[in-house]
Amino acid sequence: MIDAVSPHDTRVIDQFTRWASPFAALPLHAEAESMARTIAACAIEPGMSVLDVACGPGIVACALATEGGVVTGIDLTPAMIDQARQRARQTGTTASFQIGNARSLPFADGAFHRVVTRYSFHHMEAPALCLEEMVRVCRPGGRVIVIDATPTPECRERYDEAEKLRDASHTRALTLAELEALGREAGLSPLMVHQYRLESRLTDQVAPEDLLALTAFFREEIASGQDRSGMSASEIDDVIRFTFPLSIVAWEKPALP
């Protein structure tokens, strides 16, 4: 059961109920190099307990289970949990999944060796609260890993504009400096940062009813010759492509004295 569902939570659930199946099937979300970087940042050893927060269709959770982790995934949207369980069955992995809210994780303090979330903070009204919860359920000496879009400060406003046209549940992307600051404020010690980009076709990332507005957005930006969104948009043969500016940030939760 999900406690205290806010109006924004409802927007998230509505958005990802509609997108559960296409989101799960999109090859971009399992792209080999970015997945390898994610696995490396998590540094799983066999038998480690792992929590994937806002796990979506279980792509990261199942990959980490394959590495030997004892993986639990939690997500706000029941349709995404259905997709995750289906993926686990199809891949023969033993990850388990449950519905829950990242603001109030239903796990004991220090329950997990690794706590990870991917592509979720920009959907949250208060990502700092989610990070605090991730830190709480991570055991001392464990790792907390966040992967998300991190536009530059000068591009963030325009990036957010594009994302809100694409996804009504988008709140605000954090810059890398802001994300790193959240980790410091949560008492975490930095381990690694890796920045990268993923390219996508516009038609793969937007509902048909939103395509016209986003096409106009990117065509205007392309015509201007200025990459104000930081999304490196281009159009060839009527196909618009753009990139997501992403970062993997891993921290250690300090060990007890």
Specify the 3-state DSSP secondary structure of 202. Answer: helix
Two tokens, residue 119: 């592509």
Set out the domains of the chain in order of their start, with CATH numbers. Answer: 7-252 (3.40.50.150)
C-alpha angle 101-104-108 in degrees, rounded to nearest 5: 120
Asked whether 15 and 79 are in contact (CB, 8 A), the reply is: no
Specify the 3-state DSSP secondary structure of 67. Answer: coil
Give the pLDDT confidence of 176-223 residue by residue, as tens digits: 999 999 999 999 999 999 999 999 999 998 888 899 999 999 999 999
Give the pLDDT confidence of 143-185 residue by residue, as tens digits: 999 999 999 999 999 999 999 999 989 999 999 999 999 999 9
Report the C-alpha gap between 36 and 31 in whole angstroms.
9
